[in-house]
Amino acid sequence: MSFVHNNENQPNILRATTRPGMKREIMPYFQPIVSLQTLQIYGYEALGRMVQGNEQKSLGPFFEDGTVSLEDHLRIDRILREKAIRTFAASDQSGCLFINIKPSWIYSQYNGKGSLYTLELLKQHKLSPVRLVIEITEEEFSGDLERLADIVKLYRDAGCIIAVDDVGSGFSNLDRIALIQPRIMKMDLNMLKKASVHDGYKALLRSFSAIATQIGASLLVEGIETKADLQLALEIGARYAQGYLFSVAEAELQPSNRYVELLFQEIRRYHDRNYQKFELLAREEQAWNAKMELIIGESIGWVDADERIEQLLPLLASSFCIRIYACRDDGFQVSSNHFLNEEGSWSKDASFRGTNWSWRPYFIPNILNMKRYKRGTMSTGYVDLDSNRMIHTFSYPSRDGMYLFLDLAF
């Protein structure tokens, strides 16, 4: 999460660890992370605060300050980490504790001392490692990534859950994700906000959701401030959510069922909206199957695919179809691309003849389904590369072994 930088806090923070009795001013606060699967609080992220009287300040700027030495960062962090683990272990709350650790801290400490302080704390406070999430934070890391992955594996082998922060921004690149193999991927706040107004960012978010699925990770979206943010998180496949919509970080651990009603209402809203969307899609698929049955009729001998498509074009008027082409079952396109131009008439691009589409992940399963069920199928929505419009593709088998593909802009 982002913080406003305030260098004036730094001397006070450092003095707090050297003056007798002042270490108590440095405290962990806990922000809940909710599960969109169980509707319960899944875990609590420990965040550093300096508490003086009724005033508390974030230690985020301190840990982001490059002028502070590694030793001072580690000294403050160890105070916070020990207090967070001690507090969590002594509580009766279920769920997991999220601890933020920079890659450079893990790397330097293990290489220098051959031990991991956090695992020592778990033993000291009798907290099971399966209840600890090691969150590898975003920073520029110049060390050996494979060596870092080996050290992180020690946490994993002990039973800890590994998470990677700020996926899709800064230095949290795909190499790090591939090597560390996190169980949880946290999405970047700024990308989430951009996605709410730009389909390109929304597509990127969905791609990270696909990556998470492929590597066996769950997606956690942080920075959820509004119900609209939560709906977007649901759309991109998030399993967990975190942000001010639920709570700021607090000194006390909150009851696990605190947000059940809010989550139930928002998940019901998401379900109802998407149920209606897919119900409409199913009706469109049924209608297009009936339409194509009438248009194509009985068995057709295709001497030339372009000629046959040109016979169909007048029958597709006012049908939302913006492009049509034909392929064989081996993926090779046997027609030109026939497309609706800006003037509203049909044009064709012969350069697509002979191209192959079987490399697309959905192509072969789509063909097999059409062969088996002898009917067309409607895709889910996606952004068309040529027109930048949200479209659906209706695929339909003809009786002579060809397959028609109609791109529809509803």
Residue 69 and residue 162 in one domain: yes
DSSP string of 289-330, one letter each residue: HHHHHHHH-S----S-HHHHHHHHGGGGTTS-EEEEEEE-TT
Question: Is 264 part of any domain?
Answer: no
Residue-number span of the structural domain to which 398 is assigned: 273-408
Residue percentage of the chain with pLDDT more than 90: 50
- For Cα atoms 401, 404, 410, give the angle at the middle one, nearest 5 degrees: 155
What pLDDT is stored for residue 346 in this prediction? 94
Compute the average pLDDT of residues 235-241.
91
Output 362 or 185, whichever has higher pLDDT.
185
Instruction: Fill in the DSSP letter of residue 24.
Output: G
Confidence check: pLDDT of 75 > 80:
yes
Strand locations in 214-371 (E): 218-222, 240-242, 321-327, 337-340, 346-349
User: Mean pLDDT, the chain, as a whole number?
Assistant: 85
Which of 234, 258, 282 marks a domain boundary? 258
Which of 258, 290, 319 marks a domain boundary? 258
Which tokens is 197 given? 């107004």
Confidence check: pLDDT of 83 > 60:
yes
Residue 214 and residue 279 in one domain: no
Question: Is 237 part of any domain?
Answer: yes
Confidence check: pLDDT of 37 > 70:
yes
Question: Which residue type sits at 207?
Answer: S
Task: Render pLDDT for 140-173 as a digit per residue (tens, 0 to 9).
Answer: 666 777 888 888 999 999 999 999 987 766 545 6
Question: Is 101 part of any domain?
Answer: yes
pTM exceeding 0.85: no
Compute the average pLDDT of residues 216-221.
92
Question: Is 263 part of any domain?
Answer: no
Confidence check: pLDDT of 260 > 80:
yes
What pLDDT is stored for residue 148 in this prediction? 82
What pLDDT is stored for residue 200 in this prediction? 61
Residue 31 and residue 116 in one domain: yes
Confidence check: pLDDT of 18 > 70:
no
Task: Render pLDDT for 38-74 as a digit per residue (tens, 0 to 9).
Answer: 999 999 999 999 888 888 889 888 888 888 888 888 8
Q: Euclidean distance between the first and final Cα of the chain, in Å?
A: 39
Confidence check: pLDDT of 1 > 50:
no
Question: Which residue type sits at 282?
Answer: A
Question: Is 268 part of any domain?
Answer: no
Residue 283 and residue 252 in one domain: no
Residue 185 and residue 59 in one domain: yes
Which of 206, 225, 258 marks a domain boundary? 258
Residue 130 and residue 69 in one domain: yes
Residue 300 and residue 240 in one domain: no
Confidence check: pLDDT of 139 > 70:
no
Rounded to an integer, what distance in angstroms lies between the CA atom of residue 41 and that of residue 15?
36
Compute the average pLDDT of residues 177-203.
72
Which tokens is 68 given? 């502070």
Question: Is 266 part of any domain?
Answer: no
Strand partners, 41: 34
Residue 211 and residue 318 in one domain: no
What pLDDT is stored for residue 329 in this prediction? 93
pLDDT-derived band of residue 7, with 50, 70 and 90 as boundaries? Answer: very low
The CATH number covering residue 377 comes to 3.30.450.20
Compute the average pLDDT of residues 1-20.
49
Output 6 or 151, whichever has higher pLDDT.
151
pLDDT-derived band of residue 5, with 50, 70 and 90 as boundaries? Answer: very low
Q: At what angle do helices 70-90 and 103-113 cross, to 10 degrees?
A: 100
Question: Is 381 part of any domain?
Answer: yes
Residue 208 and residue 298 in one domain: no
Residue 120 and residue 153 in one domain: yes
Task: Render pLDDT for 272-321 as a digit per residue (tens, 0 to 9).
Answer: 999 998 998 899 999 999 988 887 764 455 568 898 888 888 888 777 89
Confidence check: pLDDT of 84 > 90:
yes
What pLDDT is stored for residue 162 in this prediction? 95
Asked if 183 and 162 count as a contact pair (C-beta separation under 8 A), the reply is yes
Residue 183 and residue 304 in one domain: no
Confidence check: pLDDT of 17 > 60:
no
Alpha carbons within 13 A on the beta-carbon side of 184: 26
Question: Which residue type sits at 91?
Answer: S
What total of structural domains would you count in the chain? 2
Q: Taking the alpha carbons of 61, 65, 69, 73 in that order, is the dihedral positive or negative?
A: positive
Task: Render pLDDT for 99-130 as a digit per residue (tens, 0 to 9).
Answer: 998 887 887 777 777 788 999 999 999 999 99
Question: Is 1 part of any domain?
Answer: no
What pLDDT is stored for residue 236 in this prediction? 85
Residue 280 and residue 253 in one domain: no
Which tokens is 236 given? 């991109």
